[in-house]
């Protein structure tokens, strides 16, 4: 009987899927009348919106600010093609661009990261990955035989760049917090003293939100005999590039230090309808990448060809709507809620870690994949994390915690399966597995 009902279920699911797929298939317009076609398309879009609304309310594991309602004001722009191909600071024969907005955005970030207007160059990217590709390309062009050093907890885009550019690289170990281990960095630098160093510094790792100690990295380079002209530092500040500058106690991200470039994702802390980001470097470096493109009557030093001209406007609008105060308020809300979540998990006897100046709470991986999908968590090994972004309310966190505690009582009911030990991943003091129940008492 059970077999028959499973088969019947599978068949039903299969039919549902086929129905859904046919919903999304592109159809020849001439096969149906115009009125019916518009009705069908609008119905599909309405259903898709309903899906997005429901799923938006359950995004906990990703670095996305989903509070984007204010960007609806920009919807009239969707009927225009806006293309910022080439260098943002150079005009071309194509006038359908938003480069004035782009420069406004770049000036704002240059000021935030403390580099003078006439000393920086940059552009609005497709996101943090493109910013990293651009930063590491610059490093490689400036120091062609340089070795890339990056921590093992770096974002995959860093390793992608190393493969794309065929760079030699050294993977540096990390501390329990996820920060780069400067002792290991030192050991590897000393072994490769004859080659320049291209360093990727994480201003917030993807999983634990760890902030590499930029000052210690610079000191380590100097102590290992690397003078300013023999190293290049790119800062991958995808999330925290817009957080640490607003926190007085946090390590300073500034071009007053000997760094070469910084990139941030704008759809992360700020929020945007489409992925986008900002990349800033020193103006004196960019001539190395700049090439004149005759058919466009402009010059280009960017990774892309055509560039999204709506994205700078979306960022510009968000910055104008929020200003320093609005962004600061968002960050403070996230910090308070992240601590609330960490404490809630710990009070329920669940291992949890929250790094300083951080909005990413790392905890035990839930046992059930369906639960992970429902809350759209991100997991690595035995760990899961929640990124407490501005759209993540206390109510969402309460619902999540209630759900997790209820499910755990079922998963671990019989005692033959135990919650994982996370002592190695997040430290003894943050672990509350059966072997380390004391951890939570000692941990802060």
Ligand X SMILES: Cc1ncc(COP(=O)(O)O)c(C=O)c1O
In 128-236, where does DSSP find H-type helix? 128-142, 156-164, 182-191, 214-223
**Distance from C-alpha of 100 to C-alpha of 119, rounded to nearest angstrom:** 18
The candidate with the shortest Cα–Cα distance to 54, out of 302, 396, 416, is 396
Min separation Cβ 127 and ligand X, Å: 3
> Using the rule CB under 6 A, is 178 a contact of ligand X?
no
Q: Which residue is nearest to ligand X (CB)?
A: 128
Tokens of 338: 């992240």
Q: Which of 245, 277, 312, 419 binds ligand X (CB under 6 A)?
A: 277
**Distance from C-alpha of 253 to C-alpha of 238, rounded to nearest angstrom:** 13
Min separation Cβ 425 and ligand X, Å: 18
> Using the rule CB under 6 A, is 265 a contact of ligand X?
yes
Phi then psi for residue 178, to 5 deg, are 105, -5
Nearer to ligand X, 161 or 224 (CB): 161
Choices 122-130, 138-146, 224-232, 332-340 (CB under 6 A): range interacting with ligand X: 122-130
Min separation Cβ 90 and ligand X, Å: 25
Choices 11-19, 231-239, 320-328, 396-404 (CB under 6 A): range interacting with ligand X: 231-239
Choices 25-33, 203-211, 292-300, 392-400 (CB under 6 A): range interacting with ligand X: 203-211
> Using the rule CB under 6 A, is 206 a contact of ligand X?
yes
How many alpha carbons lie under 13 Å from residue 293 in its C-beta half-sphere? 18
Nearer to ligand X, 127 or 260 (CB): 127
> Using the rule CB under 6 A, is 127 a contact of ligand X?
yes
> Using the rule CB under 6 A, is 99 a contact of ligand X?
no
Q: Which of 148, 218, 238, 311 binds ligand X (CB under 6 A)?
A: 238
Beta bridge partners of 171: 150
Tokens of 84: 């910022």
The candidate with the shortest Cα–Cα distance to 64, out of 252, 405, 334, 369, is 334
Min separation Cβ 268 and ligand X, Å: 7
Q: Which of 155, 186, 342, 436 binds ligand X (CB under 6 A)?
A: 155
> Using the rule CB under 6 A, is 261 a contact of ligand X?
no
Q: What crossing angle do the helices spanning 156-164 and 128-142 adopt, rounded to 10°? A: 40
Nearer to ligand X, 265 or 281 (CB): 265
Between strands 169-172 and 147-151, the pairing is: parallel
Min separation Cβ 47 and ligand X, Å: 27
Residue ranges in 392-431 that form contacts with ligand X under rule CB under 6 A: none
The contacts of residue 371 (CB under 8 Å, 6+ apart) are 403, 404, 407
Integer CA distances (angstroms), 95 to 85, 326, 377, in order: 11, 33, 43
String marking each residue 128-147 x if it binds ligand X according to CB under 6 A: xx--x---------------
- Residue in the structure block whose two tokens are 């210690």: 216
- Residue in the structure block whose two tokens are 């782009």: 102
Phi then psi for residue 425, to 5 deg, are -75, -40
Nearer to ligand X, 68 or 423 (CB): 68
Q: Interface with ligand X by CB under 6 A: which residues?
A: 63, 127-129, 132, 155, 157, 202, 204-206, 236, 238-239, 265, 275, 277
């Amino acid at each position: 009987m059970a077999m028959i009902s499973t088969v019947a279920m599978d068949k039903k699911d299969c039919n549902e899927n086929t129905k859904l797929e046919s919903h999304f298939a592109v159809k020849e317009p001439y096969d149906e009348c115009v009125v019916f076609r518009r009705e069908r398309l609008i119905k599909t879009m309405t259903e898709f919106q309903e899906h997005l609304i429901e799923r938006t309310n359950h995004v906990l594991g990703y670095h996305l600010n989903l509070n984007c309602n204010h960007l609806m004001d920009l919807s009239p722009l969707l009927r225009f093609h806006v293309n910022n191909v080439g260098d943002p600071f150079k005009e071309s024969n194509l006038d359908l661009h938003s480069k004035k907005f782009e420069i406004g955005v770049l000036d704002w970030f240059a000021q935030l990261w403390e580099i003078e207007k006439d000393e920086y160059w940059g552009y609005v990217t497709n996101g943090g990955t493109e910013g990293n590709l651009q930063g590491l390309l610059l490093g490689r062009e400036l120091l062609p035989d340089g070795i890339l050093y990056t921590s093992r907890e770096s974002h995959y885009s860093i390793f992608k760049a190393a493969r794309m550019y065929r760079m030699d690289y050294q993977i540096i170990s990390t501390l329990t917090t996820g920060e780069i281990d400067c002792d290991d960095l030192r050991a590897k630098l000393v072994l490769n003293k004859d080659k320049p160093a291209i360093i990727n510094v994480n201003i917030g790792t993807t999983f634990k939100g760890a902030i590499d100690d930029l000052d210690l990295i610079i000191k380590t380079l100097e102590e290992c005999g690397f003078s300013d002209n023999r190293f290049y530092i790119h800062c991958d500040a995808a999330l925290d590039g817009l957080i640490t500058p607003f926190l007085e106690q946090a390590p300073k991200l500034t071009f007053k230090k000997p760094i070469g470039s910084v990139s941030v994702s704008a759809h992360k802390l700020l929020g945007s309808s489409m992925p986008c980001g900002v990349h800033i470097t020193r103006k004196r470096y960019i001539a190395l990448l700049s090439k004149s493109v005759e058919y466009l009557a402009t010059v280009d030093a960017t990774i892309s060809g055509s560039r999204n001209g709506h994205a700078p406007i979306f960022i510009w609008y968000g910055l104008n709507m929020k200003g320093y105060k609005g962004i600061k308020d968002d960050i403070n809300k996230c910090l308070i809620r992240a601590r609330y979540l960490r404490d809630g998990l710990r009070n329920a006897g669940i291992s949890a870690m929250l790094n300083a100046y951080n909005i990413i709470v790392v905890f035990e991986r839930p046992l059930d994949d369906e639960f992970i999908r429902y809350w759209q968590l991100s997991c690595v090994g035995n760990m899961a994390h929640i990124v407490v972004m501005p759209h993540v309310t206390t109510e969402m966190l309460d619902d999540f915690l209630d759900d997790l505690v209820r499910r755990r009582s079922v998963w671990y009911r019989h005692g033959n399966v135990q919650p994982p030990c996370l002592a190695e991943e997040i430290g003894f003091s943050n672990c509350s597995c059966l072997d380390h129940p004391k951890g939570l008492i000692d941990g802060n």
